[in-house]
A = this chain, B = another copy of it.
């Protein structure tokens, strides 16, 4: 009965080791380039053991995505979350949350992004992951029009632009390391600049 524990425990440890190893390998060489045997080697297991846990690299990524979503729910339901986008602090809060989330889950985010280029299933998954945030942003933007402000365009389109900006800016600086610019950037400066740009962009004409 409880004696089932040792085997299960061992299997669970191996599965966890494979997932952690995968994140490291993805971060190092990219999801698309990563070989199954790179992951098993990194985890210190034999090649064959991989298939006791996952049907393939895609399923492993799905599992990582599930973990990520489980963790994300905590963040979204966070405290002190003002939705009034006429308030610069509310915008900064959202930018900061995104930045932290991206940084914390970089390996999986980038892996998903890469998988999406090659596999329509993951393209859909990634869209599903980001779409609620866009809708969420659009909702907040309506506070601005409600307060008499004028947005630079349709709320949904503006929200998608903000999402595009945050995503690609984070990618440029956190993943590529700002190498196309030849300069480094602190988290604080990144968030401040993004928040200021967005606040002016959406609220600049208010009143």
Contacts and interface: CB of A to CB of B under 8 A. Distances in A.
A204 B199 CA distance: 9
Interface in A79-132: 114, 117-118, 123, 127, 130-131
Interface string A154-170: 10111011001101110
Interface stretch (A12-20, A36-44, A59-67, A181-189): A181-189
B164 A30 contact: no
Given A127-B179, A157-B181, A197-B202, 18 more contacts: A30-B117, A32-B32, A114-B117, A123-B176, A127-B180, A134-B181, A152-B196, A153-B197, A154-B193, A157-B190, A157-B193, A160-B178, A160-B181, A161-B169, A164-B164, A164-B165, A198-B201, A200-B201
Query: Chain A: interface secondary structure?
Result: helix
A139 B45 CA distance: 53
Copies in the assembly, this chain: 2
B164 A169 contact: yes
B131 A180 contact: yes
- Give the size category of A's interface with B: 35 or more
Contacts of A167: 164, 168
Contacts of A189: 153-154, 157
